[in-house]
Amino acid sequence: MGLAEYMIVSRPDGWTVLHDGNAEHDYDTKEAAFEAAVAAASLAIRQGHEVHVSVPGREAGNRAALGVNDSQSAS
């Protein structure tokens, strides 16, 4: 089996998951993108693939841990 790699990446208006060179969905938070990537990675594991998931630290996006402004996370 092959390698299934999921990379959470920042976009100007949110986050996305890069997989096989494609970023098909947009997410409001880094956490939401991570949850989507992990769900896909779980399926890939069941299919026998090696899986890599990467998530940038606080330095990416707007420098907040979850990738949203503090005012957004409170709402």
Q: What is the pLDDT of residues 6-15, one digit of tens each?
A: 999 999 889 9
pTM exceeding the 0.85 threshold for the entire prediction: no
User: Residues 6 or more apart from 30 whose CB is under 8 A from it?
Assistant: 8, 10, 15, 55, 56, 60, 61, 66, 67, 68
| CA–CA distance, 73 with 51 (Å, rounded to integer) | 30
Residue 40 near residue 25, CB atoms below 8 Å:
no
Q: What is the pLDDT of residues 15-71, one digit of tens each?
A: 999 998 899 999 999 999 999 999 999 999 999 999 999 999 887 666 666 667 655
